[in-house]
Chains A and B, each alone.
Chain A
Amino acid sequence: MNSENWTPDQPIVSIKDVHKSFGDLEVLKGVTLDVMKGEVICIIGPSGSGKSTLIRCVNALNDIQSGSILVEGQEVHDPKLDKLELRQKVGMVFQQYNLFPHKTALENIMMAPVLVLKEDKDEVEKRARALVKKVRLEGKENNYPGELSGGQQQRVAIARSLAMRPDVMLFDEVTAALDPETVKEVLVTIKELAQDGMTCILVTHEMGFAREVADHIYFTDRGVIVEHGPPDTFFDAAKDPRTKEFLSQIL
């Protein structure tokens, strides 16, 4: 399969038997999962289980040792891959927001389309302002990241990724570094995004949120997917003892 004959009824992200090691430490030991267009999936599991590594492999921030990851039919770990094209398709939001501290909120959002896609600056600014509105940060356009709260920064980071008009969004524990009172505003933003039909892959510890927005939950432990299913079955009728133990600790 390649990108030319990929059709939207096939998985937009297809991960097959992925193995990934850091030195001697094998972090992913054969992970397989498919995500359809418009689907929202949540990956949960104890820390160190390889969740973040898995989604970092999807946009080639980490390489893999074996297996395959297809995004819209295109092999991500093909050395001939045009990484720019991939990163245009796949947006990513990080735990620590990672905004550019020397640029204002609006500049942060505009930078990639102007520099990377070479789009017209006025056009991009219009889009960026619309995105600021979408993440409810009107009036904060000209503030620097250091002047914003964690939740506001994270929403700028989401808008920054959206400015590239991705087909898939990856969220890597995006609320883990936030104060409890700002978690909600970020989750609301993601939820709205999901309702608009954006394909989302989330690594999260927010179980209530996962249950509410996800179409499918994957539970990973020690580099493998232990159990997966739709949220209701998953949370109410988990079968695997490891899943049960994890859920009992967290819920």
Chain B
Amino acid sequence: MIEAFAEFFRQFAEEYPRWNFIFFHDERQFWRVVSGFQYTVILSIACVIFSVIIGIVGAWLQGSPLKWARRLVQGYIQFFRNTPPFVQLLFFYFALGQFTPTITGPDGWTEVPLISNVGWAIISLSFFAGAFNVEIFRAGIEAVPESTTEAATSLGFTRLQTYKEVVLPLSFRVCLPALNNNLVNLVKTTTQAVGIAVPELLYECLGIWNDYPSALYPTMLFLFVSFIVLVGILVYGMHRWEKAMKIPGYGG
């Protein structure tokens, strides 16, 4: 069955030389694509999780009575929102990367940096998307009417109880659509990790079409389809979640 599948694309490439789907009939190229896909998925999941955590913590700090905490968050947002993510990535890897300690690698004699290029990609992209998430969560928190929190106060709720039981559940529902957009952008931005040689999907695809110019079109097609599927899954999940959290008679 698999052999027939590979054979079909081998024949196809012979008939149409510009459409060599090499990763469907050459085992080495197949595994390159699979490995790249895995890295892209890992990057996406890690960055989504960390950026959401950064967003929640940042929005909470923004409401803090401490002036320096609010200023810190504001400075962070200004920096990461107003500079290109690709430049941030290079800065993290090449500039900050120089100052991180090294450890002895798995072979026992080379020194490797404590934070790998994959690590820096996750850190840099999470901070980038996190800056937007802070603003998204803040908007959500501000959308909860003060009168609602006042009712909680008048019932004797502490600040933390009000936050946990009333403000967060309501604001989360408000900011899901905006969060959805930002996370979609984040997943697509993971391709920039190619700039510091993270072997994700774009990196592997570039490699394949450099090695096999006849595979240029199919590889590009594959890239597009992969991201449509990946982002599609994310969007589907987010919509399901939005629906599950919908309150009868509340909001749109």
| Chain A contact residues, CB within 8 Å of chain B | 59, 61, 83-84, 87-88, 91-92, 94, 96, 98-102, 111-112, 115-117, 143-148, 157, 160-161, 164
- Counting chain A CB atoms within 10 Å of each CB, the highest count among B145, B150, B173 belongs to B150
CB-based contact A145/B250 at 8 Å: yes
CB-based contact B249/A96 at 8 Å: no
* Minimum CB–CB distance for A250 against chain B, Å: 26
| Chain B contact residues, CB within 8 Å of chain A | 145, 147-148, 150-158, 161, 165-166, 169-170, 173, 247-250
Q: How far is the CA of A101 from the CA of B145 in the complex (A)?
A: 11
CB-based contact B161/A100 at 8 Å: no
Given contacts A87-B156, A143-B248, A144-B248, list 7 more A-B pairs with CB under 8 A.
A83-B156, A87-B154, A101-B170, A102-B173, A102-B247, A112-B157, A144-B247
Residue of chain A at shortest CB distance from B169: A102
Q: How far is the CA of A115 from the CA of B152 in the complex (A)?
A: 11
* Minimum CB–CB distance for B91 against chain A, Å: 42
> Can you give 21 contacting A-B residue pairs, CB < 8 Å?
A59-B154, A84-B158, A87-B154, A87-B155, A88-B156, A91-B154, A94-B150, A96-B147, A100-B165, A101-B249, A102-B169, A102-B173, A111-B165, A112-B156, A143-B248, A144-B247, A144-B248, A145-B250, A147-B248, A157-B151, A164-B155
* Minimum CB–CB distance for A106 against chain B, Å: 14
* Minimum CB–CB distance for A63 against chain B, Å: 13
Given contacts A98-B147, A100-B166, A115-B165, contact A147 B249 (CB under 8 A): yes
Other-chain residue from B155, B157, B169, B250 in contact with A146 (beta carbon distance below 8 A): B250
Residues of A within 8 A of B156 (CB): 83-84, 87-88, 112, 116-117, 164
Other-chain residue from A61, A98, A147 in contact with B148 (beta carbon distance below 8 A): A98
Residues of B within 8 A of A164 (CB): 155-156
CB-based contact B154/A92 at 8 Å: yes
CB-based contact B150/A98 at 8 Å: yes
Other-chain residue from B147, B150, B170 in contact with A102 (beta carbon distance below 8 A): B170
Other-chain residue from B147, B148, B150, B155 in contact with A111 (beta carbon distance below 8 A): B155
Residue of chain A at shortest CB distance from B148: A98
- Counting chain A CB atoms within 10 Å of each CB, the highest count among B147, B153, B156, B166 belongs to B156
Q: How far is the CA of A233 from the CA of B247 in the complex (A)?
A: 50
- Counting chain B CB atoms within 10 Å of each CB, the highest count among A83, A99, A101 belongs to A101
